[in-house]
Amino acid sequence: MDVDTKAEELASALGKDKTEVKADLESLLEFDVPLEEAAQSVRRKHGGGGGSSTPETLDLADITTEHGTVNVTVRVLTQGTRTIRYQGEDVTIREGKLGDSTGTISYTAWQDFGFESGDSVVVGNAGVREWEGHPELNLGQSTTVSVADEPVDTDAPIGGEADLIDLSAGDRGRAIEVRVQEVDSRTISGRDGDTEILSGVVADETARLPFTDWEPRPEIETGADLRMEDVYIREFRGSPSVNLSEFSTVEPLSEPVDVTDAAPRLSLAEAVDSGGLFDVEVVGNVLEVRDGSGLIERCPDCSRVIQNGQCRTHGTVEGEDDLRIKAIVDDGTDTVTAIIGSELTEDIYGGDVTDAKAAAREAMDKEVVADAIRETLVGGGYRVRGTLSVDEYGANLTVEEFEEADDDPAVLARAALTEVRG
Ligand SMILES: [Zn+2]
């Protein structure tokens, strides 16, 4: 529900002028007070009680963003804990999902109501707020939580156990069992000065994902098999990444975790629909080698590709020669731009930067390098592995492995689709 609609609803319930009510609401929203709490404050200020503020008792499937406050009887599916800076102070909040027999809903609890994953609870007077078009529950000061008389039925998984392949940005309170494949310690400058963090890659049988531990733990070392609880998932360069906070727990596992060497093979449609993947394999045909491929120049300060010796950030610079390929790959279900770095480009081109410069000098045209690459790649079928990121400008695959495919990519794509959907 937006401010305007809320103001209108409040104004008519309170018998007040809408402009005045809206101004009151907006001044509270400036302080990041959730809309429903702001509405309750405004209602109190104008002496309104009862009436439209009486929460309805609903099944989760029936809650819409039009509801103000609701009562629900639910199963706690997941609970994640984190600290956020709220009105200049650190506040510990709990977030996750609730379920009943009709569906699930995300929640944010602004205080510790004492429930845990698996508990069946009656939640009274929860605020409904809108997040990206969906209703979410806001459990605040005026919310009550009590134990339900009977266990609440739900088809949704309880406890947040997840395989890496099933995680997506926004997930909270998840539990995973993984092997640490790579780990590095880094120092970053945060708002509270320099902080040490760990970052690297974890793997299980289904996938590999990058991770960040914001509260470095000695158990996290290369080769360790660990159970991590209360982790949350953020987007990192367009793909999901596992985050450990001060509230996450890490326990060594007695049994080794089975780890995949292969990246999941997906059709391009499935890969792009996933919104980004750290490690994925696709098979497709190269339709086109785009401009900006072949012999290029990079800024010596930021490594970005530059045109005519001009970096967008650093102005006129002495460019450094490099090789790369931006190829459009299609498998009949979708397309991506594969970005191939210098090492693989050397293999494909059959020469290094020095060879490429010599060829360009001889032809008096840099484009001969890209043309040679075009001749090799366009029309061919390739197996491509790398990191896929998807944003409003399209899908980019930063390539780690690039090989000629043995089979017809279109056939493979159809097979992959059948497998995934089957
Ligand atoms: Zn630059």
Cα 290 to ligand 1 centroid, rounded to whole Å: 22
Ligand 1: distance of its center to the CA of 305 in Å?
8
Q: What's the pLDDT score for residue 421?
A: 54
Residue with tokens 């689709």: 417
Q: What is the mean pLDDT of the chain?
A: 89
The model's pLDDT over 80-89, given as tens digits with 9 standing for 90+, comes to 998 888 778 8
Q: Report strand pairing: 208-213 vs 225-236.
A: unpaired
What was the pLDDT predicted at 419?
A: 58
Span from the CA of 298 to the centroid of ligand 1 (angstroms)? 8
pLDDT in tens, 346-364: 999 999 999 999 999 999 9
pLDDT tens per residue across span 139-153: 998 899 999 999 999
Provide the 8-state DSSP code for 406: S
Q: Looking up tokens 């809650």, which residue turns up?
A: 63
Output the pLDDT for position 412: 59
- Of 226, 217, 107, 101, the residue nearest 154 (C-alpha): 101
pLDDT digits (tens, 9 = 90+) for 380-406: 999 999 999 988 889 999 999 999 998
164 CA to middle of ligand 1, Å? 36
| Contact assessment for residue 259 and residue 179, using Cβ atoms and an 8 Å cutoff | yes
**Does residue 135 register a pLDDT over 50?**
yes
pLDDT at position 268 over 90: yes
